[in-house]
Structure 1
Amino acid sequence: MKRRVGFTKKLATPPFILVAGILLIIGIGTVLLMLPVSNQNGHPLRFMDALFTATSAACVTGLIVVDVETTFTLFGETVIMILMQLGGLGFMTIATLIALLFGRKLSLKDRLILKEAINSDTMEGVVRIIRKVLIFSFTIEGVAAIIFTARWSVDMPFFKALYYGIFHSVSLFNNGGFDLFGNSFQDYMGDWLFNVIASILVISGGLGFVVLNDLFEFPKKRRLSLHSKMVLSVSGVLIALGAIVLFVFEFTNTKTLGSLDLSHKLYASFFQSVSTRSSGTSTIDIPELRSATQFFFILLMFIGASPGSTGGGIKTTTFLIMIGALFAMVRGQKDIVFFRHRVPQGLLMRAMTIIIITLGIFMVINMLLLTTEDAPFLTVMFETASAVGTVGLSVGLTPELTEWGKLIITVTMFIGRIGPLTIAYAIRPKQTKNLYRHPEGRIIIG
């Protein structure tokens, strides 16, 4: 009986519930996409293709093995859009919305799960933050949908433009990576209005809801938390660096930026830098990028978006803490300091754990795909980084994957969205506290 109770308690932990929740969403999405009504030819979609697409949508990745526009009906596309919304906001956020609408009070356990879901360091005000998350999300998506509708109604019938506006607003804000144009947004490379609105959507979704809440309250409080300062700083640097690298490396490549005028080069460089770390949409032909640029994109995808956001990767703050540790070591300092605040040793250990686990997963997936797929090493590495970081950019390998390759990438997208550390917490054995410490030893390194 004790063992059974212990097992039940393990299942009730916040990390396990989050993992189970996303699996449930993927399962329902797979079944819906397999229905004949979801497929334009009226036949059920193959199980592996449905599972892959549902996982890609729920894990807000955007990698596809079938063309969305020519494969799915309006019903199927709507299922994908809902999966992206659920995957981006998180099923616990949506569950909280339903509970609040019905006037149900949240228990301590509910608040613990919400704290885990939005990567907050405290339960204080977590429900208030969730309310704002929902308001931010639906307001930003709604305004963007209206602007997109007005823009695309020039190119297509109004109701089609309205549908496209809603779908792509959801996709871009949730960093979903799906599109209905067939070539991502390459037709709008030089459209300043699209580039501005799409970039705002991707950046807003990738900053994280805690940062959005801080920015919303900044006019009243006149200050930002250390977390928000770090996220905004590193995000700005990475966006600028990505745009500069793409602009310089592809300036003379006639297959990407080389044949464009200066303004179009700048638009494409900025948007692609914004999109590469989380969104997975593009305005240039990704397979035609030079190898050096593709490799740099792999690094950006590995870093990913920020904690508590709709994006994946090791997260910007994890990357920044490790850079801080590097500089502290080189300068002979014991503490990692950002904005006159010292980083706790526990956070450094957590950052190292995330990077090592993610890098381990990245290497294992690369080796597996190099075994199952007949493709160049850089191509395999690019698709793996895209799946691990839940980005969705592709150099063309994903549609050609074998059945084993599809399964491997499906599992990788799931791990990337949940986060390797969350999965580790969900399945780890019960913690035991040591009553003693071993003596310190000396080891030579370097």
Structure 2
Amino acid sequence: MNKLITWMLMHMNLNPTRKLAFSFFIVIVAGALLLKLPISHQYPISWSDAFFTATSATTVTGLAVVDIGEAFTIFGQIVIMLLIQFGGTGTMVFAIFLLMMFGKKIGLKERLLVQNSLNQNHLGGIIPLVRSLLLYTFIIEGIGFLFLSFRWVPEFGWKTGLFVSLFHSVSAFNNAGFSLWKDNLSAFVGDPIVNIVISILFIIGGIGFIVMKDIWKRKRFQKLSLHSKLMIVGTLLINVIATLMIFFLEYGNGDTIGNLSISEKWFGSYFQAVTTRTAGFNTLDIGAMTPASLFFMMGLMFIGAGSASTAGGIKLTTFIILIFSMVTYLTYKKETVLYHRAIKKATIFRSLTIVTVSLLLIFVAIFILTITEKFPFIQIAFEVFSSFGTVGLSTGITGDLSLIGKIVIIVMMFIGRIGPLTFAFLFTKKLNTPIRYPEEEVFTG
């Protein structure tokens, strides 16, 4: 499949942005075809369900219209796991890796594709970055697999225990949220090993390789790049705040954490808080959570995790920059400054564009679903935010969506994975003009 992707992309007259989007589309189509094979499923599934599952896996979302553990055979589950790996690490990263394995020369076009895929500003060092990224991915997933095996092999036996450990390690690190159990991880709500290992995997995956590499290289916080500092501090703050919010909002809810022990309450609140930003696993019944919790979680899903990571959403750094830019304007300052570094105006404009495009897309998707679906508004909105943020949490309505509803969610998952800006650039063309026009005041606010 990677050979096909590589050949097609290198011979298509498309710009890097469109090639990146097309690479995901190719993987999704190939995945859907594989999932429709008789060897992949226990009982017949429709083309729409196969396409939905392939899209959800490739975009590392985790929304499911069928029970993954019951509907698919081991072969089908392996296909889903590989789609998660391709989609999470990046289809172009694997395509370039394949070229390197066969001793092919990596030209400027290929480097531009990887640059776009990894959201890098410079072409220098792209190939070593690909090698490091893949090595880092397999090491972290291997460690997660090992720890989960200690927990699940004694319970399920060697064959099943090793497979579910590998599947969940890949799914967690890539922030996919797919589980082989119908109730996801609800059976392990108070299990310290499962909670800690799975959450560490998706937090590391959500922070991003660039930040982890920076930490490994520079060791001390003061020497880290501004991006790394914002990601580390922002992740800690938002995770603590989210845990406390879920704990207090759900404390008296007997259908979620209300009847659990105090330690299980904290584990459940912590896990559901940190997974909401993009991972999509759940140890609590999402459909039973209070409207306040669901609304709060929509905000977390919209923010997402780190840029150049396996996460979706507008990204945490985008959110932080906009918050501080707002403070800058309200306090009559000229520059937005973070850790003694001024933020470029182009970065602020980019952040504003990301948020504006994202909100417009979400508004359109919710509007369409309110016409085609008969579910309560908050459930529809939650589903859209979850698909856009490539989170995968659901109140339980995914499998009952109409065909149009499934198509809308598929589109939102695709946009969420390639990014709202990349999606917008698919329909625009760069214009170079030396003309400047006179300024005039427009009243706002």
TM-score by structure 2 length? Answer: 0.95
- The equivalent of 1:35 in structure 2 is 37
Partners of 1:349 and 1:222 lie apart in 2 by 27
1:387 to partner: Cα distance: 0.5
Matches within 5 A, 1:51-90: 51-90=51-90
- The equivalent of 2:438 in structure 1 is 439
Partners of 2:133 and 2:381 lie apart in 1 by 34
Q: Is this contact kept in 1: 2:322–2:351, CA < 8 A?
A: yes
- The equivalent of 2:303 in structure 1 is 303
- The equivalent of 1:149 in structure 2 is 149
1:61 to partner: Cα distance: 0.4
Secondary structure at 2:407 match in 1: helix
Partners of 2:220 and 2:15 lie apart in 1 by 36
1:238 to partner: Cα distance: 1.2
Structure 2 runs not aligned, ≥5 long:
1-9
Kindly indicate whether residue 56 of structure 2 is the aligned counterpart of residue 48 of structure 1: no
- The equivalent of 1:419 in structure 2 is 419
Matches within 5 A, 1:176-325: 176-219=176-219, 223-325=223-325
- The equivalent of 2:373 in structure 1 is 373
Partners of 1:99 and 1:108 lie apart in 2 by 14
Q: Is this contact kept in 2: 1:312–1:417, CA < 8 A?
A: yes
Greater Cα offset, 100-109 or 67-76? 100-109
- The equivalent of 1:407 in structure 2 is 407
Partners of 1:221 and 1:68 lie apart in 2 by 42
Secondary structure at 2:156 match in 1: coil
Greater Cα offset, 267-276 or 79-88? 267-276
Q: Is this contact kept in 1: 2:221–2:229, CA < 8 A?
A: no
- The equivalent of 1:111 in structure 2 is 111
CA 1:94–1:9 in structure 2 vs 1: closer, same or farther (change >3 Å)? closer
Partners of 1:432 and 1:381 lie apart in 2 by 36
Secondary structure at 1:333 match in 2: coil
Greater Cα offset, 225-234 or 123-132? 123-132
Partners of 1:354 and 1:372 lie apart in 2 by 27
One-letter code aligned to 1:318 = T
Spell out, residue by residue over 1:172-226, the C-alpha distance to the aligned partner (whole angstroms, 9 max, x if none). 0001111011111111111111111111100011011211211221239972111
Q: Is this contact kept in 2: 1:383–1:393, CA < 8 A?
A: yes
- The equivalent of 2:138 in structure 1 is 138
1:443 to partner: Cα distance: 2.0
Q: Is this contact kept in 2: 1:129–1:213, CA < 8 A?
A: no
Partners of 1:419 and 1:408 lie apart in 2 by 16
Of residues 12, 18, 26 in structure 2, which corresponds to 1:16?
A: 18
1:432 to partner: Cα distance: 2.4
One-letter code aligned to 2:440 = G
Spell out, residue by residue over 1:142-173, the C-alpha distance to the aligned partner (whole angstroms, 9 max, x if none). 11111111210121111100000110000000
Secondary structure at 1:322 match in 2: helix
1:104 to partner: Cα distance: 2.7
Partners of 1:288 and 1:408 lie apart in 2 by 25
One-letter code aligned to 1:31 = L
Spell out, residue by residue over 1:107-135, the C-alpha distance to the aligned partner (whole angstroms, 9 max, x if none). 12211111111111222222222211111
Q: Is this contact kept in 2: 1:118–1:210, CA < 8 A?
A: no
- The equivalent of 1:129 in structure 2 is 129
Secondary structure at 1:443 match in 2: coil
One-letter code aligned to 2:294 = Q
Q: Is this contact kept in 2: 1:58–1:84, CA < 8 A?
A: yes
Partners of 1:400 and 1:253 lie apart in 2 by 26
1:444 to partner: Cα distance: 2.2
Spell out, residue by residue over 1:271-303, the C-alpha distance to the aligned partner (whole angstroms, 9 max, x if none). 111110111001111111100000000000011
1:427 to partner: Cα distance: 3.0
Partners of 2:104 and 2:93 lie apart in 1 by 14
CA 1:190–1:409 in structure 2 vs 1: closer, same or farther (change >3 Å)? same
Partners of 2:191 and 2:138 lie apart in 1 by 24
Greater Cα offset, 125-134 or 54-63? 125-134
1:14 to partner: Cα distance: 1.1
1:105 to partner: Cα distance: 3.1
Secondary structure at 1:15 match in 2: helix
One-letter code aligned to 2:269 = S
Partners of 1:115 and 1:408 lie apart in 2 by 29
1:101 to partner: Cα distance: 2.1
Matches within 5 A, 1:355-374: 355-374=355-374
1:9 to partner: Cα distance: 10
CA 1:317–1:9 in structure 2 vs 1: closer, same or farther (change >3 Å)? farther
Figure out how many residues of one structure are paired with residues of the other and give that number.
436
- The equivalent of 1:331 in structure 2 is 331
One-letter code aligned to 1:118 = L
1:10 to partner: Cα distance: 8.8
1:428 to partner: Cα distance: 1.5
